[in-house]
Structure 1
Amino acid sequence: MSTSAAAAEAEAEAPDLVCELDSVQGIVDALTSVRWKRYQDALVELSEHGIVIIVEETSCLQAKVYLQRELFVKYEYGARGRPRFGMSLGLFVDCLNTFSVPGKSNILELRYPGPDMQLLLRSVDSPNACIYAQIRTRIPETISWDYNFEPTGATPLTFTVKSAALKEAIDDLEWPGSSIQIKLQPTPPSVIFRAEGHGDLQIEFNYYANMDLLIAFSCDRPISHRYKYKFLRATTSNIPASVLKDNRGSKFTMGRGGLLKVQHLVSVSKPSSIPHIESAGYQQPSRIAYIEFFVKPHVQEDEEEEEEQVNVVNDSQ
């Protein structure tokens, strides 16, 4: 076999990605944030910039976990383009938990693809034992909707709330049993969460009165949209305890058509290290996983109005 042919064969057999993590628990926390039901499929996209995990629900809720290459102690990317594969999110999280030792910094290697297109995992820093696992992947399904988030104008419609207060507020909004209205108003600067159903509950964050909770606010005109409670709750139901303990903020942005973007930052620092914390309470970007949720607005009211108009026309006939 010629040298060029051997090199071509070796290149063809080389994996698309070999990377190593030194904070398995941080990745588990990030992925658990987007695990809102027991059986959930995920789409994994690889690139030279890192790994993106995407999950969605009934074309109304989509979440993305961004694991930038800076989070890995080793990141060797050899693929052309951006390979994608599907797998069970729950199985992946449970498998990562097997490699996570509380309070101990352990290194995990991920390799893709294996001989049968598996995702391969193994511990690489234990002198006495090696834990090894493989996860079967599948041909990825097409994402059913394009989030295509666009701003609504020159001034962003956005606010940032302390994550612990946000989670508590959304949990409290469950009992009225209805969709949730989120209203932003510039005068006075405030954010209102309201649910009307079996009861009526309104939670208001005033920017100047509660700057310890509503820590950022940008709005130049009144605007409101409604969202199904189960989808809104999914954005906060599994926020990691580390985020709540660090008293970090979660950012909301309303886009064109009422599309809602919710962003969280999850620490992936090594258990044995003392992470650098900036004055604003955020860690350096290299040790943060970015979580984004996209929630479509609830349009039930419009549908009901159209149905009532049709009924009126039928009655008149």
Structure 2
Amino acid sequence: MSSSAMDAESPDLVCQLDNVQGLVDALSAVRWKRHQDAVIELSEHGIILIVEETGCLQAKVYLQRELFVRYEYSAQGRPRFGVSLGLFADCLNTFSAPGHSSLIEIRYPGPDMQLLVKSVDSPDACIYAEVRTRIPDMISWDYNFEPAGSTPLTFTVKSAALKEAIDDLEWPGSSIQIKLQPVPPSVSFKGEGHGDLQIDFMYYVNTDLLIAFHCDREVSYRYKYKFLRATTSNLPGSVIKDNRGSKLIIGRGGMLKVQHLVSVARTSNQHPHTDSAGYQQPSRIAYIEFFVKPEEDEDTIN
């Protein structure tokens, strides 16, 4: 028996998922340009997909093993491989039908180190796809995210409001200033171009938009607009519809972390994983994190 055949019989990972659309939504959220490479890392705890650009912007999609109805992991170490993000997302999208929760199986590696995807619950036909993988040609930069002090500099804002604010601040090629101040407790987004535009979120004025706020001192950092926009440009409609919140944290040196939650619960009239408050249990949520480096202006350099 050939070694390739043996590899096919003993894959590193075999997993099954009952909500393809939720997975497509999660991957699409970190797709900020047409042609984009991603690195997938497998472990006994789940799957991590990483994309980044020019060492200034990085995004990660965390798919915990609890998301899957089946997760069989037999690899030694943590295998990593590269894929085309767009190709992978588009491939998965062919398995998704509106209003129907397809059960798919993902297997890696195939005989030629490919990622294998197939439908497993259709009595009429089996859809099968192979996604070519490659040796990762990028080494993820170490964002080394650390707290900015003893008190976290963080706020949580409705995802729809955050996306709308960033869209409204569009100044191509420019930067956006994010300012937090404890008195009055507020967050300001300011764009500069052919004029100034500022959007303020006041904590005690509208807690329906600014859900949480923690800040013990005034801080201000600037970020490239194109990188900041990438954190919300492809937020799936399900996040907006569910009225979810996005959490932003400013770490040491102004590193910005933006966190979104995307539901990967099986779509049906019954929601066994939803609690009495209407929130999805963590096991059915894909965690998405963006890391954005601040601009280095003259004050920062000096």
Band of TM-score, shorter chain: over 0.9
Q: Distance in 2 between matches of 1:295 and 1:281?
A: 31
Q: Does 1:288 align with 2:285?
A: yes
- Cα displacement string for residues 217-248 of structure 1 (whole angstroms, at most 9, x for unaligned residues): 00011001000000000000011111101111
Paired residues in the alignment total 298
Partner residue of 1:227 out of 203, 220, 223: 223
Q: Which residue of 2 aligns with 1:216?
A: 212
SS state of the match for residue 100, structure 1?
Answer: coil
Q: Does 1:297 align with 2:283?
A: no
Structure 2: runs of 5 or more not aligned: none
Q: Distance in 2 between matches of 1:65 and 1:301?
A: 34
How much does 1:197 deviate?
1.8
SS state of the match for residue 63, structure 2?
Answer: strand
SS state of the match for residue 247, structure 1?
Answer: coil
Q: Distance in 2 between matches of 1:260 and 1:91?
A: 29
Q: Distance in 2 between matches of 1:116 and 1:187?
A: 60
Structure 1: runs of 5 or more not aligned: 1-8, 307-317
Q: Which residue of 2 aligns with 1:89?
A: 85
Aligned residues of 2:172 and 2:226 also touching (Cα < 8 A):
no
Q: Which residue of 2 aligns with 1:113?
A: 109
Q: What TM-score do you get using the length of structure 2 for normalisation?
A: 0.94
Residues 176 and 41 of structure 1, relative CA distance in 2, 3 Å threshold: closer
1 or 2, which has the higher helix percentage?
1
How much does 1:131 deviate?
0.6
Residues 224 and 140 of structure 1, relative CA distance in 2, 3 Å threshold: same
Q: Distance in 2 between matches of 1:85 and 1:10?
A: 20
1:172-183 correspondence runs (5 A): 172-175=168-171, 178-183=174-179
Q: Which residue of 1 aligns with 2:49?
A: 53
Q: What TM-score do you get using the length of structure 1 for normalisation?
A: 0.90
Residues 280 and 212 of structure 1, relative CA distance in 2, 3 Å threshold: farther
RMSD: 1.9
Which segment is superposed worse, 17-26 or 122-131? 122-131
Q: Percent identity, please.
A: 77
Q: Distance in 2 between matches of 1:103 and 1:146?
A: 40
1:1-317 correspondence runs (5 A): 14-175=10-171, 178-275=174-271, 276-278=273-275, 282-302=279-299
How much does 1:18 deviate?
0.3
Amino acid at match of 1:192: S
Residues 22 and 198 of structure 1, relative CA distance in 2, 3 Å threshold: same
Q: Distance in 2 between matches of 1:13 and 1:249?
A: 43
